[in-house]
């Protein structure tokens, strides 16, 4: 067979190998997308359970500091894990994939990030207030309002 024949087949062979490689990369990304979607579903389920567990004690008004600290710790772990997961989702979305429920997880992450999760600091603040240090919230807010008014102190 001629040299041209071999060269043509080698080019075809190389082209097919490159197509397989590009297919493999797309397949790996698609599988990663599926894995992230599964993790998002689990994360949202865990958050729902955290909210139910914490809400029951808080609604009764009898959540101990230890229980509140445990709850806050669980939320912090969830939040750290969620931020990591959302970074992976963002990369896949930038590559053109649609990551199901990623927006729902982003909203939930935003909500949880607003929670007062530093229970040690909250406890110290309350103890300080009960000890006569600091000022009640209503007094602090009034002071802030006065400072924000034109001509305020």
- C-alpha 72/C-alpha 29 separation (Å) is 34
Q: Are residues 57 and 88 in the same domain?
A: yes
Q: Which of 56-60, 88-92, 148-152 has the lowest mean pLDDT?
A: 56-60
Question: Structural domain tally of the chain?
Answer: 2
Q: Are residues 20 and 75 in the same domain?
A: yes
Q: Report the number of secondary-structure helices (H) and strands (E) in the chain.
A: 5, 0
pLDDT confidence of residue 72: 85
Q: Are residues 67 and 135 in the same domain?
A: no
**Quick one: what percent of the chain has pLDDT higher than 90?**
32
Q: Are residues 68 and 93 in the same domain?
A: yes
Q: Are residues 24 and 59 in the same domain?
A: yes
Statement: residue 56 has pLDDT above 70: no
- pLDDT band for 4, please (50, 70, 90 cuts): confident
Alpha helices in 1-64 (DSSP H): 3-60
Q: What is the pTM for the complete model shown?
A: 0.65
Q: Are residues 103 and 150 in the same domain?
A: no
Q: Are residues 83 and 63 in the same domain?
A: yes
Q: Are residues 110 and 143 in the same domain?
A: no
Q: Are residues 81 and 151 in the same domain?
A: no
Q: Are residues 94 and 34 in the same domain?
A: yes
pLDDT confidence of residue 37: 94
Helix (H, G, I), strand (E, B) or coil at 126: helix
Query: Once rounded to an integer, what is the mean pLDDT over residues 110-126?
Result: 78
Q: Are residues 12 and 62 in the same domain?
A: yes
Structural domain boundaries enclosing 34: 3-117
Task: Compute the mean pLDDT over every residue in the chain, rounded to the nearest whole number.
Answer: 81
Q: Are residues 87 and 138 in the same domain?
A: no
- How far is residue 42 from each of residues 68, 94, 100, 108, measured CA to CA in Å? 23, 23, 13, 13
**Eight-state DSSP code of residue 134:** S
pLDDT confidence of residue 149: 78
């Amino acid at each position: 067979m001629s040299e041209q024949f071999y060269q043509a087949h080698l080019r075809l062979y190389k082209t097919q190998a490159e197509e397989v490689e590009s297919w493999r990369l797309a397949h790996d990304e698609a599988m990663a997308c599926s894995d992230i979607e599964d993790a998002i579903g689990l994360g949202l389920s865990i958050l729902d359970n955290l909210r139910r567990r914490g809400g029951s004690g808080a609604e009764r008004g009898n959540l101990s500091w230890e229980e509140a600290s445990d709850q806050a710790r669980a939320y912090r772990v969830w939040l750290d894990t969620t931020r990591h997961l959302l970074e992976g989702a963002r990369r896949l979305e930038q590559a053109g994939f649609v990551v199901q429920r990623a927006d729902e997880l982003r909203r939930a992450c935003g909500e949880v990030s607003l929670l007062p999760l530093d229970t040690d600091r909250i406890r110290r603040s309350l103890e300080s207030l009960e000890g006569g240090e600091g000022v009640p919230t209503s007094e602090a807010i009034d002071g802030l309002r006065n400072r924000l008014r034109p001509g305020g102190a």
